[in-house]
Amino acid sequence: MLDLLIHNATLPDGRTAMSVAVQEGRIVEVTAGLMAPAHEVLDAQGMLLSPPFVDAHFHMDATLSYGLPRVNQSGTLLEGIALWGELKPLLTQDALIERALTYCDWAVAKGLLAIRTHVDVCDPRLLAVQALLEVKKRVAPYIDLQLVVFPQDGVLRGAQGPQQHMDNLVRALDLGVDVVGGIPHFERTMADGALSVKLLCELAARRGLRVDMHCDESDDPHSRHVETLAFETQRLGLQGRVTGSHLTSMHSMDNYYVSKLLPLMAEAQLQVVANPLINITLQGRHDSYPKRRGMTRVPELLAAGINVAFGHDCVMDPWYSLGSGDMLEVAHMGLHVAQMTSQAAMRQCFDAVTVNPARVLGLERYGLAGGCHADFVLLQAGNPVEAIRLRAPRLKVFRRGRLLSETAPATSALHLPGRPGLTSMMP
């Protein structure tokens, strides 16, 4: 007997009236109109059943710290970095864990069941690393949490010399952090940035780890660290295991240079994460008018065969006061900023918060097919584009076939003469 049988679901690929059969935490069959005995049967009523949302880029050590020790008055990146510097000495492990667990509660309610978070390793106490390793353990039954060592202040830029932050970073990897990060555009010189990419990729190759660097998160059209990242990936045989996050400088680069860069990135099977909510608010701040959008070239990267995911980056922290763990809000912003309004492109924006980030994280058994984990979200929407339009309620969230969260449908009661009594904004 099946554990769970879902009837009458619409899938992201457009198939309708589908049944999904679940046994022992796995999907055993996805087919139309399946009849079989099951302990629990759920009628999806034609609503969209999606694999869970995945966030490929987040900062869980800073999340929900909004207002600590004070609010970012200007809302700029530089005041955010200064504020994070003020907050770091005041952090405690218990408070970090508590805020991260609260965020994970929000994530589950939004159907977000896998998160890659960068963790600042410039504090020699490695307080945030230890806190997030504890959080990773505690949320493991319901969220796949992947940690990246992130030298926020530059890996070669320590006040006590270039080994200071590198030593912290290596210690964090020894404690069990999963992925090697970096921030080449924040090193003292372009040459130091390139050296940091080389050293960090070599470290990842030696340890058999994936790489995910904040790379060229600037409006500088001459920044070249993406090129170096692609080169080192190729040189060290790390194809498919390296991600460039942000890449906002690509927005401002010369078109001829980008036409050379894209094939190099594709050849290295570099993966890309754009962070639309944060890029549109933090980039272009030195411009008068016109103001650059500052998000990387998502449609062009996709057209070059490069895997692109959208990340949330920040929620209620020194850099960004808003957010709630809603990856449909992220997709909604990405769609607008990249002008991805064709039918196919809007559909790609849904992939950019589901299957594409799952590839970035290297998640196994992810998806709606026989043999995959029984992890899925039932949305109050008829298709992926409607889900983005409505930032649709997550009616039910399942992991390994077990119900984790339920949200009541969003329906407004109307008191209008001669009009229907209810609306859900679905024509």
Q: Which residues are catalytic?
A: 217
Report whether 47 contacts 10 (CB < 8 A). Answer: yes
Q: Minimum Å distance from CB 320 to Fe ion?
A: 10
In the DSSP assignment, the letter for residue 89 is G
Peptide bond connecting 124 to the previous residue in cis, omega within 30 degrees of 0: no
Q: Is the Cβ of residue 118 or residue 347 nearer to Fe ion in the bound state?
A: 118
Output the smallest distance, CB 296 to Fe ion, in A. Answer: 13
Which residue's CB is nearer to Fe ion, number 57 or number 396? 57
# of chain residues touching Fe ion (CB under 5 A): 1
Cα separation of 275 and 273, whole Å?
A: 7
3 state SS of 335: helix
CB 406 within 8 A of CB 111: no
The residue assigned the tokens 């995945």 is: 54
Q: State the Cα–Cα distance between residues 360 and 356, nearest whole angstrom.
A: 7
Which residue lies nearer to Fe ion by CB, 6 or 54? 54
Q: In whole angstroms, how close is the CB of 186 to Fe ion at the nearest point?
A: 11
Report which residue's Cβ sits closest to Fe ion.
313
Contact window for Fe ion (CB under 5 A) among 7-15, 308-316, 405-413, 416-424: 308-316
Q: Which stretch binds Fe ion (CB under 5 A): 122-130, 311-319, 329-337, 358-366?
A: 311-319
Tokens of residue 374, six digits: 């029984």
Least distance (Å) from Fe ion to the CB of residue 193? Answer: 16
Whether a cis peptide bond, with omega within 30° of 0, leads into 12 is no
Using DSSP's 3-state secondary structure scheme, residue 356 falls into: helix
- Smaller CB distance to Fe ion: residue 116 or 332? 116
Nearer to Fe ion among residue 108 and residue 148 (C-beta): 148
Q: With CB under 5 A as the contact rule, which of the stretches 5-13, 162-170, 313-321, 379-387 interacts with Fe ion? A: 313-321
Instruction: Give the nearest distance from C-beta 415 to Fe ion in angstroms.
Output: 46
**Cβ proximity of 198 and 166 under 8 Å:** no
CB of 332 vs Fe ion, minimal distance in Å: 19
Pick between residue 216 and residue 313 the one whose CB is nearest to Fe ion.
313
Question: Which 157-176 positions form the footprint of Fe ion (CB under 5 A)?
Answer: none
Q: How many Cα atoms sit within 13 Å of 314 on the Cβ side?
A: 23
Q: Identify which of 335, 121, 303 has the alpha carbon closest to the alpha carbon of residue 214.
A: 121
* Smallest separation, CB 60 to Fe ion (Å): 11
What does each C-alpha distance from 321 to 80, 332, 335 come to in angstroms? 10, 18, 21
Q: Which stretch binds Fe ion (CB under 5 A): 105-113, 192-200, 261-269, 312-320?
A: 312-320
Could you please report the per-residue DSSP string of 166-198?
A: HHHHHHHHHHT--EE---GGGSSSHHHHHHHHH
- Rounded distance between C-alpha atoms, residue 360 and residue 73, angstroms: 34
* Candidates 194-202, 223-231, 309-317, 346-354; binding stretch for Fe ion (CB under 5 A): 309-317
Residue nearer to Fe ion on the CB measure, 313 or 317: 313
Chain residues in the site for Fe ion (CB under 5 A): 313
